[in-house]
Structure 1
């Protein structure tokens, strides 16, 4: 499906560079020569028999129409004199237009370009649906990960001690605290230490030692050492 979309876009770009020349919004007219004529315009212009087509588009083609015969003005891009049935008959009687009028074939690429929007829009809509669906899946997956203490703890470590750039203590504290509330022993210790130091959060010794005590109760040895040192300092 992606290959088809890319192919259509390449065709559009190629045709746009050949025949549009006016951007990708609004209406485009095209004059294609059918045959030379021994006829001059009212201002002495060199005229030729041509057919005129037009397409309406918004980035891609939305509508295409064959307007029939016109008298093209040589040397003036997309300039012409209109021809209706009455005018054609008059010029044929005067021997200035062939009788019968020559047939012409519009290349299939012009129709493809003219209606390309109706091919691309469904594909773009489908891609948008997939994009928003994947966004929803990513959000759901992230919510699931947020429920995993180890994931929150590891993400906290990445913010606290990144391989590149400066530490983000504020984000690290939030993640450690979340993992701590989920019972992660190392996160309890890190949350306590950051509270005691005032890293990423306003310093709060009482709350910090509360977290360290919870870590100690779960068997965290370093927490026990920090608490013991704190008690010794208070006794002096």
Structure 2
């Protein structure tokens, strides 16, 4: 995931580094002149000009804002040098035939808007990835992060919220963890009945640890009434799923009875 985020960041930066060199850094303003057509107009110093439109991008390490500044007269042979054109000047040049009537339309490319707002697009992508995981595995993993304190303090209530979101998507491990948390009063008040509901649901979803835990509960009789018949049944389910210790418990109960 970290490699993916790094790749997105690098791809977003590539087209902006050239602009950054033009403006002398990664913070500031960059103006771009886009040629539309040649015109028979001279500049104040006798330069040949062409009709163009101008965009301005503001940078905060990456493109943060872009504006369409309308028509300008670009200077041939010079990069991004131009003369402003206001409505009065346009009408004057059109009246003399130096500019066409109406002016040729132009369209700013989508990719230019994209790079012009690259910073916000990248931040939005990062926010979606980090704060709005959608699949059940990602939600469960986020819950485990807070449950076990991986690179962050243990936070049972926060872990439970992510497990609940994952459990709604019928993810067995998340349902099982909710059962354990209700049984152990982690992030919630102890509730054995609710814990049993979650553990049995996790069993129906095929999660082997739920069967083993249920077997242990009925075998030990500390949280629920001791019932070796129920314990054997739950251990047998886990044994059928290949759990070696559960198979040993089945044999142990049968030999003791």
TM-score, length of structure 1 as denominator length: 0.51
Match of 1:14 in 2: 14
1:5–1:120 contact (8 Å) kept in structure 2:
no
| Structure 2 partner of 1:58 | 60
1:29 matched residue in structure 2: 31
Cα–Cα, structure 1 residues 67 and 140, in superposed 2: closer, same or farther, change >3 Å? Answer: closer
Aligned 1:167-178 pairs, distance under 5 A = none
Which of 75, 84, 91 does residue 86 from structure 2 map onto?
A: 84
The 3-state SS of whatever aligns with 2:12 is: helix
Shift of residue 9, structure 1, vs aligned partner: 3.3
Could you tell me which residue of structure 2 aligns to residue 70 of structure 1? 72
Q: 1:74 to 1:61 in 2, by over 3 A?
A: same
Count the aligned residue pairs: 139
User: By how many angstroms is 1:117 displaced?
Assistant: 1.1
| CA-to-aligned-CA distance 1:49-98 (integer Å, 9 cap, x gap) | 00000011201221110000000011121110000111100000011111
The correspondence of residues 181-200 of structure 1 with structure 2, limited to 5 A, is none
CA contact (8 A) 1:34 1:51 kept: yes
> Deviations for 1:160-194, whole angstroms, at most 9, x for unmatched residues?
xxxxxxxxxxxxxxxxxxxxxxxxxxxxxxxxxxx
Q: Which residue of 2 aligns with 1:119?
A: 121
Q: Distance in 2 between matches of 1:124 and 1:69?
A: 36
Residue of structure 1 equivalent to 2:150: 137
Between the aligned partners of 1:5 and 1:128, the Cα distance in structure 2 is 10
1:36-55 aligned within 5 A? 36-55=38-57
Contact 2:12 2:122 in 1 (8 A): no
SS at match of 2:29: strand
Task: State the distance in 1 between where 2:15 and 2:80 align.
Answer: 16
How far, CA to CA, are the matches of 1:109 and 1:66 in structure 2? Answer: 14
The structural deviation recorded for 1:43 is 0.8
SS of 2:101 mapped into structure 1? coil
Say whether 1:95 aligns with 2:101: no
With over 3 angstroms needed to count, the CA separation of the structure-2 counterparts of 1:8 and 1:33, relative to structure 1, is: farther
Deviation at residue 128 of structure 1 after TM alignment: 7.9
1:118 to partner: Cα distance: 1.0
Separation of aligned partners in 2, 1:80 and 1:62: 23
Instruction: Kindly indicate whether structure 1 or structure 2 has the higher relative contact order, using CA contacts under 8 Å at least 6 residues apart.
Output: 1
